[in-house]
Structure 1
Amino acid sequence: MSWLTEYVRPKIRTLFARSSVPDNLWHQCPACQQMIFHRDLATNRKVCPHCGHHMRATTTERLDWTFDENAYTRIELPKTVADPLRFRDTKRYADRLKEAREKTHTDDAITVAHGMIGGLKSVVAVMDFNFIGGTMGAAVGDAIIAAARLAVLQQVPLIVFTASGGARMQEGAISLMQMPRTVIATRLVKDAGLPFIVVLTDPTTGGVTASFAMLGDIQIAEPGALICFAGPRVIEQTVREKLPEGFQRAEYLLEHGIIDMVVKRTEMQATLARIIGLLTQKDHQAAA
């Protein structure tokens, strides 16, 4: 073989060969199908710069976006019986829990933390739809109660970011009992004269909507969020009628007085800080 084949050709191939490119540098918007560079998406807090679609976020992202300077302290939540009914459908419930924990790096579908928002102390609970659809079982009920008690103990507002498919069927009646338990938790906060603020994100449905999610002193929603008890497809099949455009979306609910405001994710922290300041201003003046 000549020196051209043995030396020159490999050098040319190496020089002009394509470098390996990671497959996670670009993300496609599920609404407008436009491609978005990952850094631009992260800077814009997972909001499509082309159409404004709000993509689903992780628990850590929510907390980082909400608290001042990404500084907060997560609290240890009560431990519950992992599989009280030893439930099995296409796979064991215990296996579903294990897979969800490995995927999300959280113990269950909710995380509670406390810190400063706009310089004001707050307790924040965040639900994660990536954990078995954000469904509410005993662990979520216990977490909401723990968050409410912490807010009362610290005399600060409680903010809950909801994202859920409803009650967790693998826990049967136990999951349904979390509805009255979480309602009682909201009463603890309100009876203490503290603000209870709910931020409804996509999607918030089922037993979560039918319990604590609709009991906030202030009801905020992200643009385009689906907020309902039963989904539009189920309702259409039940009433056999075509639903209005945007039915059960945040903007439709705002127009019909169900929620108080629709706030873009990039403006959420500033909005929460302003609301907390307004609702607690009297207490600060009295303390002064």
Structure 2
Amino acid sequence: MSWIDKIKSKASISGKDSTDDGLWVGCGGCNENIFIADLEKNLRVCPKCDHHFRINAKQRINQLLEEGTFVEHDVDLVATDPLKFKDSKRYKDRLRTFFKKGITSDAVIVGSGRIKNHQVEVCFFEFSFMGGSMGVVVGEKVTRSIERAINNQSSLIIISCSGGARMQEGI
């Protein structure tokens, strides 16, 4: 066994709720049942053991930006299948599955908002959309955000949780 396999991290990440009633969630770190409202108040960190629960892009937006200031940009940009890619499933069908889930239109949500009354451009990657992988639309949205930040002389914040480049689009 390698020395690196012996290291145990105190931090853990949980993505699934352990109860079906929608009011309580089991902590993956200490097995404590936590009232979901309390978990949300604590920014999805267990108040007992500091276990971090998974959060999505929309939750990140709500945690980082001042309430009511987020304006999403480039919502009309949607992934396509330029290579007509197929592995075990057609890429077009994979995309359709994610679109039906209504998560986002691609692996990043971009827009503008305010933090402590400062205007910012933001890019929030969404891991639940194909592992946050970067395709043509992701690249275009991030590029446009950079250009908006330069033109508006505002800060740019990119919250990345990407699985890498998307092979289905030849990237």
Equivalenced residue count is: 153
Partner of residue 42, structure 2: 44
Letter in 2 for 1:169: M
Cα pair 1:62 1:126 within 8 Å, conserved: yes
Q: CA RMSD in A?
A: 1.9
Matched, 1:113 2:111: yes
Question: Greater share of helix residues, 1 or 2?
Answer: 1
| CA deviation after TM superposition for structure 1 residue 61, in Å | 1.0
Please list every run of 5 or more consecutive structure 1 residues that lacks an aligned counterpart in the other structure: 1-20, 176-288
CA positional deviation for 1:170: 1.6
What 5-or-longer segments of structure 2 have no aligned partner? 1-18
Q: Return the alpha-carbon distance in structure 2 between the equivalents of residues 39 and 169 of structure 1.
A: 39
How far, CA to CA, are the matches of 1:32 and 1:104 in structure 2? 32
Number of the residue aligned with 1:229: none
Which residue in 2 is equivalent to 1:155? 153
Q: What's the offset of the Cα at 1:71?
A: 2.1
- Answer yes or no: is the 8 Å Cα contact 2:46–2:52 preserved in 1: yes
Identity %: 39
Instruction: From the CA coordinates, give the structure whose radius of gyration is larger.
Output: 1
The aligned runs of 1:89-238 (5 Å cut-off) are 89-172=87-170, 175=171
Q: Using CA pairs below 8 Å that are at least 6 residues apart, which structure has the higher relative contact order?
A: 2
Helix, strand or coil: the match of 1:52? Answer: coil
Task: Measure, in 1, the Cα distance between the counterparts of 2:86 and 2:77.
Answer: 21
The alignment partner of 1:164 has SS state of coil
Cα distance, 1:159–1:87 mapped onto 2, change above 3 Å = same
Q: TM-score, with normalisation over the residues of structure 2?
A: 0.81
- 109 and 41 in structure 1: CA distance in 2 versus 1, 3 angstrom threshold: same
Counterpart-to-counterpart distance in 2, 1:43 and 1:32: 19
Any conservation in 2 of the 1:80–1:138 contact (CA below 8 Å)? no
1:64 aligns with 2:62: yes
Could you tell me which amino acid in structure 1 is paired with residue 165 of structure 2?
Answer: A
State the alpha-carbon separation in 1 of the partners of residues 79 and 20 from structure 2. 41
SS in structure 2 of the partner of residue 71 of structure 1: coil
Q: Which residue of 2 aligns with 1:88?
A: 86
- Aligned-partner residue type, residue 107 of structure 2: A
Query: Structure 1 70/42 Cα, relative in aligned 2: closer, same or farther at 3 Å?
Result: farther
- Return 121-130 or 83-92, whichever deviates more: 83-92
